[in-house]
Structure 1
Amino acid sequence: MSKALPYQTQVEIFHRFQAAEAEPKGELEHVNAYTLVLAVALSAQATDVGVNKATRGLFAVADTPEKMLELGEEGVIAHIKTIGLYRNKAKNVIKLSRILVEDYGGEVPSSRAALESLPGVGRKTANVVLNMWWGHPAQAVDTHIFRVGNRTRLAPGKDVVAVERAIEDNVPAEFQRHAHHWLILHGRYTCVARKPKCPACLIRDLCPFEEKTQE
């Protein structure tokens, strides 16, 4: 596995990301910690755009676990049936909501272990919530971050857990809070999978990716 970029190169890259967008934000719409957990869980094998379109109506009528339980599984399905795996996801939404009401007083827990114990919530979802809602320097690695981490050697790793660890170990501490948002947005809009937009890349001169595109 390739070694990570030198520390000073990492610093320069993240300074550039920071200069371009000092406060990067996630693109999933939410109004509180509960709706954030649901939005991220629903985004598995779905696009943020598609999830936002489905959840606007859902969260308008049910933005707490208590309201979601009143809506019921069929009510959830009616709102999210445009999302992949909607039936299983609706079941998890209701199960998750019931656990929050019965075990956590209707509040979303702020520990990774507790979050990961909820139906439909894995490590990635837990890390997104910890980062976006509580400001923890948690790194949620998706396909975009995995690709960017390895292409740029900012955080090389053979699987998502290895890339998560590489970000924690190699990215300068001052950039840990927003690292995953900068990387995911870079992967989503510039360092795309099939034909990366290298000419428009703000870190092109620092990136060791050998197959840079010319147009």
Structure 2
Amino acid sequence: MNTYAKTAVVTGANSGIGLALTQKLLAEGYQVIATARSGQIDSLQNTNLTVIPLDITDAASIEQTVAHIGQLAQRIDLLINNAGIAPDVMSMAAPDRMLFRDTFATNVDGTIFFTEPMLALLNDGAQVVFISSTMGLPSHAGPNGTAYRLSKAAVNMYAAMLAQRVADRHIRVTPMHPGWVQTRMGGSAAPFTPEQAANGIFRGIRANLESGRFWNAENDAVIAY
């Protein structure tokens, strides 16, 4: 376990990678503030865990959640933006306007406009992690999942920009590819469990990478944008 009781915030923590990350951080001695739409994680009980509601697509919910986090913690050492959707990830069809709107509302708008007010709550020297995907890299372009791929491309660009903006506070910004994971998003055929993905992500957190570098949790390697 860590010597110091650091505080982490994890969004979308009620299942899949978010839940596994929350469990991993608790096991590593973190105080964890986890968000879920319902404000509950029935499968996980821990004295170092606080679960609060967040609808990342709703501006009022974001404002209330950030204020609540500010009341719960004097300092935040780690922010993991995990909440996301991928309704068209397996589709080869032309972009669907409604799916496009919903995907960007969660993966891009929600992620960015939750992160921005959270910056004021972060310690100097803290870390911001974005659970992203190599599917959002031009080098990994494919014909499927138009909305999902473009949303992750936007997140990757935002991470690169944010890394420069918060450099004077020594805040590290790290977009991460968790791998193809056995979740509702990834399906049962995926080769990695959420726990394996969480372990790989945590190794990236501990790796002390240069801010703005993209971490591939599949093979513990840095990927060029």
RCO higher in 1 or 2 (8 Å CA, sep ≥ 6)? 1
Which has the larger share of helix?
Answer: 1
| TM-score, normalisation: structure 1 | 0.25
Which has the larger share of strand?
Answer: 2
| TM-score, normalisation: structure 2 | 0.25
Question: Larger radius of gyration, structure 1 or 2?
Answer: 1
